[in-house]
Structure 1
Amino acid sequence: RVRDHAGPETVTLAHYRQRHAQYRTDPDLQAAHAAAPWLVVFDDHELADNWAGDIPKTPDAGFPARRAAALQAYYENMPLRASAKARNGGMRLYRRVEWGALATFHMLDTRQYRSDQACGDRYRSDCAERFDPHRTLLGADQQRWLLDGFAQSGARWDLLAQQVFFAPLELAAGPARGVNPDAWDGYVAERDRVITGIADSAVRNGVVLTGDVHAHWAAEIRRHPEDPLSAPVATELVTTSITSGGDGSDTRADVEAILPENPHIRYFSNRRGYLRATVTPDELRADFRTVPFVTRPGAPVTTAASFVIPDRLPQLL
């Protein structure tokens, strides 16, 4: 374990404040915040595992109060503007940040407005429910806001900073089918609407920036995600965790077994680290940075893989 957490499982406002305070005393985190500006969005574990809207993963009559407490503590401790202030158990976290004419960051919230996970939220499962066109990850207002932003884009690069794996990911080897219904694979129709919004709008270069899965991945997004021969529309860069998962490994046997099922996946690493993207008018260069260990200090950082996304060419080269 890289760290032991102080206090019990976070449930109350005092608990969430304590947990944030513990992380804020980490000198490496303090140095990271001092080194660069941050744009932040949360995923599930800022509150509880795999929550969806006002629905917890397991039944909990106290969940509304727990959600309100988690969002309040998040606002108090993270670099957010006053517009994100928590109110009535929720907060407006999705927003757009422009970096001149070079890049627009679409900061998404895929937790507060989502439909409950399909397939009973069983990892490596499959069901017809995940194709229901009424299912949503973004909610109607945020989806409309995102598509309107695509239609009006004047940036060279449109970057979707969001939480869960966007590209399809077949998790079962062979003829069986299995996905992660907590990711966009559980909300297929809405993913199709977002892909269409990128392809049929003013977006010049669409890149999805993702976290959640505690490993490095790189993928190409096709116009029809289930058809590997359809035209590429965007790319996805998934960053690993900084410490979660321990030292890790260069690869994993379970992932090697499914890579033939996912020809659009271009890279995987189970090491800890971070993703560094250098954006210019002509290209986006993605460097997957890794360290050999995190269970003790002093690890050297190296670039394990690099990809270039050229202007107007949604491919990983």
Structure 2
Amino acid sequence: PKPLCGGCGAKVGPDTLDNALADLRSVARDDVRNLPGDDAAILTFGSARQVISTDHLRAFWSDPWLMARIAAVHAANDVLAMGAEPQAALAQITLPPMTEAMQAAWLTEILDGANGIFTAENIALAGGHTSVGSELTIGFTVTGIVAKKPLALDGAAPGDALILTAPLGSGTVLAAEMEGKAQGDDVARVLSALSAPRGAIARALSPFANAMTDVTGFGLAGHLSRMADASGLSCEIALDDLPIFDGAEELAAKGVRSTIWAANRAAVEATLPETPRAALLFDPQTAGGFLAAVPSDKASHALAACSEAGAEARVIGTMTPRTSVTLTCR
């Protein structure tokens, strides 16, 4: 059997998660907003608003320092996608069985790697919890402060341009690496991208956005369809305009798929060609890029701002009036 993917490739599928949450009756509070699909919950304290989110990753790389950086980027992205300024983080770390000396060494590397990201984003690493389990898992709960209305999924409007700030295909490249099929240079480029801080990019894009999210385990199609559903819209993607990691499309053509791919595809009502590039719409992205719905007359300004922040952002599609199919392509 193929190895089980790590990172966001190890997530529970979207339909399974939605079904489990459908009958949940949590306490309703006026000072807590937690809409399905939003990247973070919104907490209110009088006129002040804070967002809070949590994420963890099953390790897919043997270097705990690098894995911690990727997990820290991944967790911070949820707060940044809400248009918030990150504030504090709590760590949740599960180490595999090892000697106490090795535990201390690994924890030192993990905390150093994560703190490098958090320092760059002005996030205080305020505490956490450790345990021992069967394999390395690293996660963080991150809070942020919102100075204006938070960016949720439900704000997109018909005609909005869809802007994506990072390439797709990391899940496919990493799945191929586990099978010994990926090129080393392609894997290195993915790891470098996944471990780079994103705060400057989020701050550049969010002022232009009507709605924004980060593309993670459910793939671009999954997260875009949730934005469309929340906004009462559909969307159209230009497949030729999608940014793709080197090697990903070739690997997809060979049938390489992440563990969660089939569940991601089944969860989206989409009319798409059966091509390798279209398959990457359902590829899970660990520490993926930001996806924003931006008024069309502001799209060029948003792209310029992202470029100044270091992102090769692209317009990849458009929000359209609601139809029976959530996602189509041209």
Larger relative contact order, structure 1 or 2 (CA cutoff 8 Å, min sep 6): 2
Give TM-score scaled by structure 1 length. Answer: 0.30
Q: TM-score, normalised by structure 2?
A: 0.29
